[in-house]
């Protein structure tokens, strides 16, 4: 069962998937428009806060501290949530999570559930599992509804449908909601969604959500949203089931004073998003009578062992790194073939799968550092990307075919040559002669053989000059430097 | 109930294995205390400046803002409801009777079903604290504010904010609600909105589409 659901992602490597997406000019235009708009708004509201860097630092320290003591804070959360009338469940993997949630829904004989946007639900393939058991999940976030009706996949955590434009949404809504007439102004589309979903909020008895923060000292939860669909789902039904990654806990309620400043500004470029809700367990006379929370590991706990990569789990899913990334800007989220796209997805996805899947993702970056600069919890994504590239190489080198691959032989040869000045000088002299047949009349190399062809596919390489810097230096400057090589 | 106790011990064991030796609760609390919090806790702004800033933020969110004296709240409520052409209004238990003008249908709705709430024209409520810098109103389940569905299901929400409830910063708001942090709490910044379609902010999706605020000095 688990194979079926999880395989809808990670089918292809990044370069292959990206090549296809780059051909789709409509999607690229939509993605670029959306990311430009959010980036500009984000930069404006971040610049308003003189203490922005202090907030980032505090956020980073709170998250790092929590991860260092994750077992302590999780059990504290569990204890307090239970005292407040909540039921805490633990899920080692996606299959556990699906089984627990399906069991709860079936216990209440529900045929439909309403849902708040949750990445963890996507991660465990919950919707397909519920559908396979005759339960209809209904997404209530506008963008998620667009994705669900279009049988599409989310491409961004905050605005999952930013790759779709209004005309596309109009056609979709008209067809799926059976509407005779529908305009394509965003107001018309929003109105249609309001009417369509309101009846469901009033009728359906079970809701499923994710969670932005679990609060250890109160045993409470925080959900951050804009539309009010979140409030509808977590207030009106009889039963609420939340599925949340184990890393989402924070120590104290007070810590929200940091994240409720950095998250909205980073995510949507607002000083504050329209609605934040916090509550503990089940509150008599207010909200669901039954509250369940499923704490999902699914590959997170082993990441804590890697001290350099552990910071990946500090993420609060604002998606600022996606909006800032020049690679995401061109390809959009689908090229990552992963629930979590963009720079954070490039480091999170392969680690969640013990570096067995998504191994091309750490390379899907130019290492420009824009992601680190905007991260509200200071995850040094470029550092982790390089660290993971190292892991991918080590994994390859551990196999015979990897050891004997052209890449490995080429890299080992390069390492050997670069390690010693006289070897490098000799290689340069050989290169000057050997490049002869490849150099065009204009002085550029336009084609290279084998794995080197990747470089010349999209750009030309300047031929090596007749005299290297090293030769020039020896000839011109050597007498003043006592005949010593400058780098010897 | 599916048994998840095996998963629980497996996950906690895996975390402990990854992290190494466990710390004591005391040393964790001490380490928590060393977290650098150099961000601004408060602002030196005076009350009238806070009122102006809060007003600007609300207007930016497309909320209506009305100033009133403390004694004039009921009259202001009457004026706004008249303008909005609303008559039947849900209120939480514990709302000051002096805020309710005659000639309207105010009904205490704490125990109403969602269908009943869906039929009422709007809700009037007090709040716990308001944040000027972000234009945020914080509601909690307590007398005068009631359960969360009151400010959610009806299409119109009218909130009375007293001048001394307005603070400048987010951390100051947390100072005020820390003692009641386990209550169901909602931070409201403007009417519900979405920017999911081409990043155009559209007011009014599922929560109240119309928000008015009375600032009482």
Can you give the pLDDT at residue A2? 36
Residue with tokens 């599992």: A129
> Does the distance separating the beta carbons of B134 and A58 come in below 8 Å?
no
In whole angstroms, what is the distance from residue A187 CA to residue A183 CA?
A: 9
> Which residues of chain A does B178 touch, with a Cβ-Cβ cutoff of 8 Å?
253-254
* B positions 109-168 inside 8 Å of A (CB): 110-111, 114-115, 118, 131, 133-136, 141, 147-149, 152-153
User: Quick one: tokens of B206?
Assistant: 């599922």
Residue A321 phi/psi, 5° resolution? -70, -30
Number of domains comprising chain A: 2
Domain end residue (candidates: A267, A301, A335): A301
> Does the distance separating the beta carbons of B185 and A90 come in below 8 Å?
no
Nearest chain B CA: its distance from A300 CA (Å): 9
Q: Are A37 and A128 in contact (CB under 8 A)?
A: no
> Which residues of chain B does A170 touch, with a Cβ-Cβ cutoff of 8 Å?
none
Residue A441 phi/psi, 5° resolution? -65, -30
- At B168-195, the pLDDT tens digits run 999 999 999 999 999 999 999 988 888 7
Nearest chain A CA: its distance from B71 CA (Å): 30
- Is A169 a domain residue? no
Can you give the pLDDT at residue A9? 60
- At B89-115, the pLDDT tens digits run 999 999 999 999 999 999 999 999 999
Domain end residue (candidates: A270, A301, A332): A301
- Is A432 a domain residue? yes
User: Quick one: tokens of A454?
Assistant: 């990747």
In whole angstroms, what is the distance from residue A24 CA to residue B80 CA?
A: 51
CA nearest to A51 within chain B: B39
Q: Which residues contact A284 (CB under 8 A, 6 or more apart)?
A: none
Q: Are A334 and A152 in contact (CB under 8 A)?
A: no
User: Quick one: tokens of A280?
Assistant: 């503990």
Residue B2 burial (10 A CB sphere; 0-12, 13-18, 19+): middle
Residue with tokens 């089984």: A99
In whole angstroms, what is the distance from residue A300 CA to residue A353 CA?
A: 9
- Is A379 a domain residue? no
Nearest chain A CA: its distance from B52 CA (Å): 16
Q: Shortest CB distance from B4 goes to which of A51, A100, A252?
A: A100
What stretch of H or E contains A345? helix A342-352
Query: What is the percent of chain B with per-residue pLDDT over 70, rounded to a whole number?
Result: 99
Q: Are A206 and A75 in contact (CB under 8 A)?
A: no
Residue B45 phi/psi, 5° resolution? -60, 145
Residue A245 C-alpha from the chain's centroid:
14
Q: Are A243 and A208 in contact (CB under 8 A)?
A: yes
A75 and A224 share a domain? Answer: yes
Rg (CA), chain A: 26
Domain membership of residue A442 as a residue range: 423-481
Q: With b meaning 16 or more CB within 10 Å and e meaning fewer, what string describes A235-256?
A: bbbebbbbbbbbbbbbbbbbbb
Asked if the C-beta of A273 comes within 8 angstroms of chain B's C-beta atoms, the answer is: yes
Q: Give the number of C-alpha atoms closer than 13 A to the C-alpha of residue A446, restricted to the C-beta side.
A: 4
Q: Are B11 and A246 in contact (CB under 8 A)?
A: yes
Q: Are A390 and A363 in contact (CB under 8 A)?
A: no
How far from A402 is each of A90, A395, A417, A449, CA to CA, in Å? Answer: 38, 8, 21, 20
Q: Where are the alpha helices (DSSP H) in A223-299?
A: 229-235, 256-267
Q: Where are the alpha helices (DSSP H) in A204-317?
A: 229-235, 256-267
Residue B100 C-alpha from the chain's centroid:
21
Can you give the pLDDT at residue B21? 80
- Is A85 a domain residue? yes
- At B7-35, the pLDDT tens digits run 999 999 999 999 998 889 999 999 999 99
Can you give the pLDDT at residue B195? 79
DSSP B22: P
| 3-class secondary structure, A385 | helix
Q: Which residues contact B173 (CB under 8 A, 6 or more apart)?
A: A257, B129, B130, B131, B136, B138, B167
In whole angstroms, what is the distance from residue A201 CA to residue B11 CA?
A: 35
Q: With b meaning 16 or more CB within 10 Å and e meaning fewer, what string describes A341-377?
A: bbbbbbbbbbbbbeeebbbbbbebbeeeebbbebbbb
- Is A428 a domain residue? yes
Q: Where are the beta strands (DSSP E) in A136-211?
A: 136-139, 206-209
Asked if the C-beta of B108 comes within 8 angstroms of chain A's C-beta atoms, the answer is: no
Q: Are A64 and A314 in contact (CB under 8 A)?
A: yes
Residue with tokens 């909130």: B159
Asked if the C-beta of A142 comes within 8 angstroms of chain B's C-beta atoms, the answer is: yes
> Which residues of chain B does A146 touch, with a Cβ-Cβ cutoff of 8 Å?
196
Query: What is the percent of chain B with per-residue pLDDT over 90, rounded to a whole number?
Result: 85
A113 and A246 share a domain? Answer: yes
ipTM summary value: 0.96
User: Quick one: tokens of A392?
Assistant: 């991918």
> Does the distance separating the beta carbons of B12 and A256 come in below 8 Å?
no
Domain end residue (candidates: A257, A282, A301): A301
> Does the distance separating the beta carbons of B18 and A51 come in below 8 Å?
no
Can you give the pLDDT at residue A476? 85
Can you give the pLDDT at residue A15? 87
List chain A pLDDT tens, one digit each, 488 residues: 333 344 456 578 898 888 888 888 888 898 999 999 999 999 999 999 999 999 999 999 999 999 999 999 999 999 999 999 999 999 999 999 999 999 999 999 999 999 999 999 999 999 999 999 999 999 999 999 999 999 998 888 888 888 888 899 999 999 999 999 999 888 899 899 999 999 999 999 999 999 999 999 999 999 999 999 999 999 999 999 999 999 999 999 999 999 999 999 999 999 999 999 999 999 999 999 999 999 999 999 999 999 999 999 999 999 999 999 999 999 999 999 889 999 999 999 999 998 988 999 999 999 999 999 999 999 999 999 999 999 999 999 999 999 999 889 989 999 999 999 899 988 888 888 888 888 988 889 888 887 788 888 888 888 888 888 888 888 887 665 554 555 54
CA nearest to B139 within chain A: A277
CA nearest to A163 within chain B: B198
Q: Which residues contact B159 (CB under 8 A, 6 or more apart)?
A: B124, B125, B126, B127, B137, B139, B151, B188, B211, B212, B213, B214
DSSP A255: G
> Does the distance separating the beta carbons of A197 and B206 come in below 8 Å?
yes
In whole angstroms, what is the distance from residue A387 CA to residue A381 CA?
A: 10
CA nearest to B114 within chain A: A202
* A positions 79-118 inside 8 Å of B (CB): 84, 87, 89-92, 96, 99-100, 103-104, 107
User: Quick one: tokens of A45?
Assistant: 């509201």
pLDDT score of B131 more than 90:
yes
In whole angstroms, what is the distance from residue A486 CA to residue A56 CA?
A: 43
> Does the distance separating the beta carbons of A61 and B192 come in below 8 Å?
no
Q: How confident is the model over B141-153, as a mean pLDDT?
A: 97
Q: Are A375 and A259 in contact (CB under 8 A)?
A: no
Q: Which of B94, B141, B146, B89 is nearest to B119 (CA)?
A: B89
Can you give the pLDDT at residue A8? 56
In whole angstroms, what is the distance from residue B5 CA to residue B13 CA?
A: 12
* B positions 1-30 inside 8 Å of A (CB): 1-2, 4-5, 7-8, 10-12, 14-19, 22-23, 25, 28
- Is A380 a domain residue? no
Can you give the pLDDT at residue A469? 86
Q: With b meaning 16 or more CB within 10 Å and e meaning fewer, what string describes A183-209?
A: ebebebbbbbbbebbeebbeebbbbbb
Q: Shortest CB distance from A279 goes to which of B28, B136, B185?
A: B185
Q: Which of A308, A319, A317, A406 is nearest to A351 (CA)?
A: A308
How far from A280 is each of A62, A262, A276, A339, B182, CA to CA, in Å? Answer: 21, 23, 14, 29, 6
Q: Are A253 and A278 in contact (CB under 8 A)?
A: yes
- Is A109 a domain residue? yes
> Does the distance separating the beta carbons of A302 and B185 come in below 8 Å?
no
Residue with tokens 């011109």: A476
> Which residues of chain A does B202 touch, with a Cβ-Cβ cutoff of 8 Å?
186-187, 190
Residue B195 phi/psi, 5° resolution? -130, 25
What stretch of H or E contains A224? strand A220-225
Can you give the pLDDT at residue B39? 98
Can you give the pLDDT at residue A260? 98
Q: Which of A251, A454, B124 is nearest to A259 (CA)?
A: A251
Mind listing the domains of chain B with CATH numbers? 47-216 (3.40.50.10420)
Nearest chain B CA: its distance from A241 CA (Å): 13
User: Quick one: tokens of B186?
Assistant: 């909602």
User: Quick one: tokens of A174?
Assistant: 């008209």
Q: CA torsion A292→A298→A303→A304, rounded to 10°?
A: 30
Q: Where are the alpha helices (DSSP H) in B90-165?
A: 114-119
- Is A232 a domain residue? yes
Asked if the C-beta of A26 comes within 8 angstroms of chain B's C-beta atoms, the answer is: no
> Does the distance separating the beta carbons of B205 and A193 come in below 8 Å?
yes
| 3-class secondary structure, A100 | helix
**What DSSP assignment string belongs to B33-101?**
HTS---S-------HHHHHHHHHHHHHHTT-EEEEE-STTHHHHHHHHHHHHT--EEEE-TT--GGG--
> Does the distance separating the beta carbons of A50 and B40 come in below 8 Å?
yes
């Amino acid at each position: 069962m688990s194979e079926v659901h999880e395989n809808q992602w990670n089918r292809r490597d990044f370069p292959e998937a990206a090549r296809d997406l780059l051909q789709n000019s409509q999607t690229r235009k939509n993605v670029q428009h959306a990311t430009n708009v959010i980036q500009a708004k984000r930069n404006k509201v971040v610049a308003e806060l003189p203490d922005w860097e202090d907030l980032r630092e505090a956020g980073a320290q709170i998250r790092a501290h929590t991860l260092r003591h994750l077992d302590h804070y999780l059990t504290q959360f569990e204890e307090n949530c239970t005292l407040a009338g909540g039921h805490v469940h633990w899920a080692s993997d996606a299959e556990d999570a699906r089984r627990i949630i399906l069991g709860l829904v079936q216990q209440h004989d529900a045929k439909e559930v309403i849902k708040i946007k949750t990445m963890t639900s996507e991660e465990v393939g919950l919707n397909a599992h519920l559908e396979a058991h005759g339960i209809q999940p209904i997404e209530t976030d506008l963008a998620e509804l667009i994705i669900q009706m279009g049988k599409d996949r989310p491409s961004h955590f905050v605005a999952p449908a930013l790759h779709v434009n209004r005309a596309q949404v109009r056609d979709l809504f008209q067809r799926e909601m059976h509407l005779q007439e529908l305009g394509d102004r965003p107001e018309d589309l929003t109105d249609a969604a309001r009417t369509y979903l309101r009846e469901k909020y009033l009728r359906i008895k079970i809701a499923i959500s994710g969670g932005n923060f679990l609060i250890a000292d109160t045993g409470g939860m925080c959900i951050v949203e804009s539309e009010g669909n979140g409030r509808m789902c977590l207030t009106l039904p009889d039963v609420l089931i939340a599925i949340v990654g184990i890393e989402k806990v924070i120590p104290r309620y007070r810590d929200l004073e940091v994240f409720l400043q950095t998250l909205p500004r980073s995510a949507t470029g607002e000083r504050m998003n329209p609605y934040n809700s916090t509550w503990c367990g089940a509150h008599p006379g207010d909200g669901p009578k039954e509250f369940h929370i499923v704490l999902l590991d699914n590959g997170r706990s082993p990441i804590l062992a890697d001290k350099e990569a552990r910071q990946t789990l500090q993420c609060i899913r604002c998606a600022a790194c996606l909006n800032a990334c020049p690679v995401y800007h061109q390809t959009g989220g689908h090229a990552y073939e992963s629930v979590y796209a963009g720079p954070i997805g490039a480091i999170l996805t392969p680690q969640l799968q013990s570096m067995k899947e998504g191994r091309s993702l750490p390379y899907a970056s130019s290492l420009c550092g824009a992601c680190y600069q905007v991260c509200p919890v200071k995850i040094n994504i470029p550092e982790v990307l390089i660290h993971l590239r190292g892991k991918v190489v080590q994994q390859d080198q551990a196999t015979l075919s990897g050891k004997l691959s052209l890449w490995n032989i080429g890299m080992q040869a390069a390492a050997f040559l670069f390690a010693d000045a006289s070897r490098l000088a000799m290689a340069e002299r050989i290169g000057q002669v050997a490049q002869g047949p490849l150099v065009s009349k204009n002085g550029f190399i336009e084609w290279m053989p084998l794995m080197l062809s990747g470089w010349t596919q999209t750009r030309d390489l300047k031929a090596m000059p007749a005299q290297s810097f090293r030769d020039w230096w020896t000839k011109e400057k050597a007498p003043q430097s006592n005949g010593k090589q400058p780098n010897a | 109930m599916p048994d998840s106790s095996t998963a629980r011990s497996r996950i906690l064991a895996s975390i402990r294995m990854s992290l190494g030796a466990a710390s004591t609760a005391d040393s964790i609390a001490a380490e928590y205390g060393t977290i650098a919090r150099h961000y601004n806790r408060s602002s030196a702004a005076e009350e009238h400046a806070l009122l102006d800033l809060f007003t600007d933020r609300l207007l930016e969110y497309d909320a209506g803002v009305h100033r009133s004296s403390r004694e004039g709240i009921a009259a202001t409520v009457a004026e706004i409801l008249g303008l909005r052409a609303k008559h039947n209004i849900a209120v939480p238990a514990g709302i000051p009777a002096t805020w309710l003008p005659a000639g309207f249908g105010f009904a205490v709705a704490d125990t109403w079903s969602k269908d009943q709430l869906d039929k009422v024209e709007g809700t009037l409520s007090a709040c716990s604290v308001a944040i000027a810098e972000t234009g945020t109103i914080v509601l909690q389940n307590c007398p005068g504010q009631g359960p969360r569905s009151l400010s959610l299901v009806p299409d119109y929400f009218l909130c009375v904010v007293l001048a001394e409830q307005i603070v400048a910063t987010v951390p100051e708001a947390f100072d005020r609600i820390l003692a009641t942090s386990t209550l169901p709490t909602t931070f409201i910044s403007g009417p519900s909105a979405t920017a999911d379609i081409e990043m155009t902010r559209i007011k009014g999706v599922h929560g109240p589409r119309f928000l008015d605020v009375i600032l009482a000095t």
